Amino acid sequence: MSGFTVKYNELTAKEFILLWETVWGQAPSLEQTELAMKNTLFRVSVYDEDKIIAMARMIGDMGLDYYIKDVAVRPEYQHMGIGKMLMTELLKFINDNGVNGTDIFVELSAMPDKIPFYEKFGFSANEAQRLQMMYRVKQIIRRGAVWSEK
């Protein structure tokens, strides 16, 4: 882990896309990602000199619910303790910002082979099923106003 630079809330949309493509393939658009970065509660990113090598981010309402998203370490930098550091930073963010003495619900989605990694930090799978869809945004622009199609 030593020799790398850790940054807080500086992860850019371009860096996010670059790392996403390295780890998962086809990335979301720049416009969508810029909006997502702007509205993310907390971002952690790690660099080897100027190269982005890891990231993680937290979305949520700060009071009751948090959701951990996009924990990723470049393949050639995995198994060096970087993923553990990312998770430690995310959980520290919750601890630093939550109401003292309360319990806060923290969720994430993980592929089965990654569950043991998250169990190390106290997560456990429950019986709830993950429901998902890719919602297609269709807006009609009329004289500058945006209308949503019914």
Ligand X SMILES: CC(C)(COP(=O)(O)OP(=O)(O)OC[C@H]1O[C@@H](n2cnc3c(N)ncnc32)[C@H](O)[C@@H]1OP(=O)(O)O)[C@@H](O)C(=O)NCCC(=O)NCCS
In which residue are the tokens 């809330």 written? 9
Q: Give kind and range of the element (H or E) at residue 13.
A: helix 13-24
Minimum CB separation of residue 128 from ligand X in Å reads 16
* Nearer Cβ to ligand X (25/101): 25
Size of the site for ligand X (CB under 6 A): 18
Instruction: Give the interface segment with ligand X, choosing from 3-11, 37-45, 114-122, 124-132 (CB under 6 A).
Output: 114-122
Interaction between residue 138 and ligand X (CB under 6 A):
no
Instruction: Decide the pairing of beta strands 5-8 and 65-73.
Output: unpaired
38-53 burial, b for 16+ CB within 10 Å, e for fewer? eebbbbbbbbeeeebb
- Find out whether 74 and 54 touch, Cβ atoms under 8 Å: yes
Q: Which of residues 38-97 bind ligand X (CB under 6 A)?
A: 71-73, 78-84
Annotate 15-35 with three-state secondary structure. Answer: HHHHHHHHHHCCCCCHHHHHH
* Nearer Cβ to ligand X (101/116): 116
Instruction: Give the interface segment with ligand X, choosing from 4-12, 40-48, 91-99, 109-117 (CB under 6 A).
Output: 109-117
> Where do contacts with ligand X occur on this chain (CB under 6 A)?
23, 71-73, 78-84, 110-111, 113-114, 116-117, 120
